[in-house]
């Protein structure tokens, strides 16, 4: 990749500045505070954007590089990739996303993926190098030549990643950390709280407790079902009994009418008997009249006797007085009255005999009517009894399939009042059973709701157990992935370390005039160099110039590995602590070994120009 031109509309102290760059080595010359560092920052900001975050600094880069004397906070960069594709990128730094044009000046911004934080991540997609790696390898600043331990490890990891996966952003350590993080977030452990595995296990425990409490309703619904079935049978039985009793009542009502008719006939018969008795009494009264007649005759005879006695006494006292004859007058009157009374009684007797004959005739008629009525009543009674027996048989035949024969026969022999009482008893039992059924129905609704809840809980338990099984399977997958990743990383690292170390040794050897030929790198100690006595010491213990040589070598060695793109190599006052020999060695090495890379050197010194001229190395110089 090569940068063709830069157009700065406004960035920090730079304004309305346009710079064209060539292949090979480019010297960007300017005095201190002339804006060289701002231009370097402009290049990286055009490619990756300018950060709005402070990231531990007093002021964010967005605020730091706002234009000093205008509001045009923007610019454009033109570059060409190794495959010949040309691009122009225009960016307004206050906006997250730039506009990317192809060689036909077509807006192709939407062809690149969008990062939620950084916006359109076009340059990482094109080169495979993120911003951190770009600053750790392609760019070397005076204040940042020395790489921190994390940056050194990051470079080695990215090389390992690139060799093993083809993508330097797929970091083994980061991947392992991500897997651990994802494993913790997606699964969790026994020690974690509110993680999926803890949540699902707690959920299963609670669901099992609910299930245990609700399972009693299974037995309840079974018991209720059995009781309901029994009550339904009882209800049907009682309703059948009631129906049977009501039919008996209806039959008895009909029979009562017929009995009333029979009783009416009996009453007629009794009336006939009573009339006959009354008439017989009249006949008996004739003897009484005779007795009365006899009694009255004695009375007259007594009176006559009294008068005769009186007459005899008078005649004895005064035998010859005519006045004594006067006593005969009452005697004659008494005799006359007696005869008259007898005639009257005879007439009465005659009349009574006539009446007696009539009564006797009437009695005969009454007896005849009574006998006829009696025969009719007996016929009706016999007919009614036959009908009752027939109805009883029909009722028994009708209900024998549903009711006990003993109950049927017993009920058929009960009186009308007893039947009414039995019907009331059945009504009370039916009401009681229906009330129980209604109560049970309401209970069953509640129980069914509980069973529906139980069914849902059982489904939830199944889902939760399946979820737990999946989480355990996922956890196992994470463990396998970590094991495989660690094994793979170890193998890859073992494979690339010799090649990377050899490349690093070659670079250091050439730029240090073979003074240092053996360098080692470890995750824990970082960069170490072999000294004359054969021991290894940390690079940090060497002179400043030597340290800069070591880390520039590390960056260059890494740059060859991390991308298939020949990235520009940018130095910003990076050779300040190099003597002329070291500077000559590094420039010579860059010209020979990185001739396919564009080299951009920001400097305030003439030394680079003088040495390049001395070595007869072609370069372009741009003043800022």
Q: Mind giving me the DSSP string for 423-483?
A: HHHHHHHHHHHHHHHHHHHHHHHHHHHHHHHHHHHHHHHHHHHHHHHHHHHHHHHHHHHHH
Q: What is the predicted pLDDT for the residue at 618?
A: 95
- Summarize the confidence of residues 203-220 as an average pLDDT: 84
Last residue of a domain, one of 355, 380, 406: 406
pLDDT above 50 (res 169): no
Please write the tens of the pLDDT for every residue from 556-583. Answer: 877 777 778 899 999 998 888 888 988 8
pLDDT over 90 (residue 601):
yes
Q: 29-33, 487-491, 616-620: which has the minimum mean pLDDT?
A: 487-491
Number of domains the chain contains: 2
What are phi and psi for residue 580, nearest 5 degrees? Answer: -65, -35
User: What is the pLDDT at residue 180?
Assistant: 84
Distance between CA atoms of 542 and 547, rounded to whole angstroms?
6
Greater confidence (333 vs 164) lies with 333
Q: Is residue 106 located within the same domain as residue 249?
A: no
Q: Which residue did the predictor score with more confidence, 472 or 273?
A: 472
Q: What are phi and psi of 607, to 5 degrees?
A: -60, -45
Return phi, psi of residue 366, to 5°. Answer: -65, -40
Residue 11, Cβ density class (10 Å: 0-12 exposed, 13-18 middle, ≥19 buried): buried
Inform me whether the pLDDT recorded for 28 exceeds 90: yes
Give pLDDT, residue 164: 38
CA atoms of 18 and 1, how far apart (whole Å): 20
Model confidence at 110, pLDDT cuts 50, 70, 90, reads very high
Res. 305: pLDDT tops 70:
yes
* Closest to 502 measured CA to CA, from 519, 526, 523: 519
- H/E element, 16: strand 14-20
For residues 146-162, give the mean pLDDT: 49
| Burial track 508-523 (b if 16+ CB lie within 10 A, e otherwise) | bbbbbeeebeebebee
Query: Does residue 375 lie in a domain region?
Result: yes
Q: How many CB atoms lie within 10 A of CB 554?
A: 28
Burial of 240: CB neighbours in 10 Å, binned 0-12, 13-18, 19+: middle
Non-local (6+) Cβ contacts of 383 within 8 A are none
Q: CB within 8 A of 142, min separation 6: which ones? A: 572, 573, 574, 576
DSSP 524-556: TTEEEEE-TTS-EEEGGGS-HHHHHHHHHHHHH
pLDDT at res. 620: 94
Domain presence at residue 491: no
More confident residue, 222 or 583: 583
Q: Taking 60 as the threshold, does the pLDDT of residue 156 lie above it?
A: no
| Residue 176 or residue 241, greater confidence | 241
Convert 363-381 to b/e letters by CB count within 10 Å (16 or more is b).
beebeebbeebbeebeebe
Does 363 map to a domain?
A: yes
> What is the reported pLDDT for 270?
79
For the cut 80, the answer to whether the pLDDT of residue 165 exceeds it is: no
Same domain membership, residue 249 and residue 124: no
Report if residue 101 sits inside a domain.
yes
pLDDT at 614 > cutoff 90 = yes
* Mean pLDDT, rounded, for 4-24: 94
Query: 95 lies in a domain?
Result: yes
Distance CA 207, CA 219 (A): 19
Mean pLDDT, rounded, for 460-473: 89
Domain of 601, CATH number, reads 3.40.50.300
Instruction: Report residue 288's pLDDT band, with 50, 70 and 90 as the boundaries.
Output: very low
Look at residue 67 and tell me if it is in a domain: yes
Tell me the pLDDT tens digit for each residue of 520-539: 766 666 678 787 777 877 77
Q: Which long-range contacts (CB under 8 A, 24 or more apart) does 341-347 make?
A: 341/296, 341/300, 342/293, 342/297, 345/289, 345/292, 345/293, 345/296
Domain contains 253? yes
| Dihedral angle of Cα 504, 541, 140, 12, to the nearest 10 degrees | 170
Tokens found for residue 69? 């004397």
Residue 77 pLDDT exceeds 90: yes
Place of tokens 């079902």: 225
Q: What is the DSSP letter of 504?
A: H
Identify the domain containing residue 74 by its residue range.
1-128+563-624
How would residue 365 be classed by pLDDT, with cut points 50, 70 and 90? Answer: confident
pLDDT at 385: 82
Q: What is the pLDDT of residue 320?
A: 58
- Higher pLDDT among residues 467 and 381, named by residue: 467
Q: Out of 406, 426, 443, pick the residue that ends a domain.
A: 406
* Average pLDDT in the chain: 81
Picking from 249, 374, 393, the residue whose alpha carbon sits closest to that of residue 385 is 393
Determine the average pLDDT of the residues in 51-67: 86
What pLDDT is attached to residue 160?
44
What residues contact residue 120 under an 8 Å CB cut-off, 6+ apart?
Answer: 97, 98, 100, 109, 112, 113, 114
574 within a domain of the structure (yes/no): yes
CB 79 within 8 A of CB 2: yes
Contacts of residue 162, defined as CB under 8 A and 6 or more positions apart, other chains included, come to: 128, 168, 561, 562, 563
User: What is the arithmetic mean of pLDDT over 262-284?
Assistant: 75
Task: List the alpha helices (DSSP H) in 20-130.
Answer: 36-48, 61-64, 122-127
569: nearest Cα among 549, 599, 595, 593: 599
Q: Which is higher by pLDDT, 272 or 107?
A: 107
- pLDDT over 90 for what percent of the chain? 26
If one compares 225 and 62, the residue with the highest pLDDT of the two is 62
Among the candidates 406, 425, 440, a domain finishes at: 406
């Amino acid at each position: 990749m090569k940068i063709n031109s830069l157009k700065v509309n406004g960035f920090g102290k730079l304004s309305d500045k346009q710079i064209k760059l060539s292949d090979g080595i480019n010297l960007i010359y300017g005095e201190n505070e002339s804006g060289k560092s701002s231009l370097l920052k402009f290049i990286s900001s055009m490619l990756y954007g300018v950060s709005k975050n402070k990231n531990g600094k007093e002021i964010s880069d967005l605020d730091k590089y706002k234009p000093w004397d205008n509001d045009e906070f923007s610019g454009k960069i033109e570059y060409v990739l190794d495959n010949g594709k040309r691009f122009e990128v225009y960016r307004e730094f206050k906006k997250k996303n730039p506009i990317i044009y192809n060689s036909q000046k077509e807006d192709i911004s939407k062809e690149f993926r969008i990062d939620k934080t950084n916006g359109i991540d076009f340059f990482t997609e094109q080169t495979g190098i993120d911003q951190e790696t770009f600053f750790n390898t392609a760019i070397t600043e005076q204040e940042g030549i020395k790489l921190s331990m994390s940056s050194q490890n990051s470079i080695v990891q990215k090389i390992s990643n690139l060799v093993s996966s083809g993508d330097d952003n797929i970091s083994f350590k980061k991947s392992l950390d991500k897997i651990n993080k994802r494993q913790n977030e997606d699964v969790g452990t026994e020690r974690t709280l509110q993680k999926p595995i803890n949540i699902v296990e707690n959920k299963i425990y609670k669901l099992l407790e609910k299930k245990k409490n609700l399972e009693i309703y299974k037995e309840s619904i079974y018991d209720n079902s059995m009781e309901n079935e029994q009550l339904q049978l009882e209800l049907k039985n009682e309703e059948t009994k009631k129906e049977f009793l009501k039919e008996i009542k209806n039959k008895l009502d009909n029979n009562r009418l017929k009995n009333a008719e029979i009783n009416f006939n009996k009453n007629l018969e009794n009336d006939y008997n009573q009339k006959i008795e009354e008439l017989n009494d009249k006949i008996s009264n004739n003897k009484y009249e005779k007795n009365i007649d006899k009694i009255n005759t004695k009375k007259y005879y007594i009176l006559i006797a009294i008068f005769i006695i009186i007459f005899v006494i008078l005649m004895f006292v005064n035998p010859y007085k005519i006045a004594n004859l006067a006593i005969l007058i009452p005697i004659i009157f008494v005799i006359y009255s007696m005869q008259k009374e007898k005639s009257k009684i005879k007439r009465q007797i005659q009349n009574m005999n006539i009446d007696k004959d009539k009564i006797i005739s009437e009695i005969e008629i009454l007896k005849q009517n009574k006998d006829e009525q009696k025969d009719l009543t007996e016929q009706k009674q016999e007919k009614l009894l036959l009908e009752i027996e027939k109805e009883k048989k029909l009722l028994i035949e009708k209900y024998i399939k549903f009711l006990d024969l003993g109950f049927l026969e017993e009920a058929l022999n009960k009186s009308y009042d007893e039947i009414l009482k039995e019907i009331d008893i059945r009504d009370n039992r039916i009401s009681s059973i229906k009330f129980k059924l209604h109560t049970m129905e309401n209970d069953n609704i509640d129980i069914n709701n509980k069973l529906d809840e139980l069914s849902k809980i059982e489904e939830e338990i199944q889902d939760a157990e399946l979820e737990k099984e999946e989480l355990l399977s996922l956890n196992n997958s994470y463990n396998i992935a970590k094991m495989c990743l660690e094994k793979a990383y170890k193998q890859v690292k073992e494979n690339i370390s010799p090649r990377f170390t050899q490349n690093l040794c070659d670079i250091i050897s050439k730029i240090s005039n073979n003074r240092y030929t053996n360098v080692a790198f470890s995750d824990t100690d970082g960069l170490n160099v072999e000294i004359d006595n054969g021991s290894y010491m940390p690079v940090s213990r060497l002179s400043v110039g030597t340290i800069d040589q070591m880390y520039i070598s590390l960056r260059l060695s890494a740059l060859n590995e991390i991308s298939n793109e020949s990235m520009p190599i940018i130095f910003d006052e990076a050779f300040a602590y190099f003597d002329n020999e070291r500077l000559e060695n590094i420039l010579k090495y860059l010209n020979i070994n990185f001739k396919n890379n564009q080299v951009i050197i920001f400097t305030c010194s003439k030394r680079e120009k003088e040495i390049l001229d001395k070595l007869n190395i072609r370069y372009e110089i741009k003043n800022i």
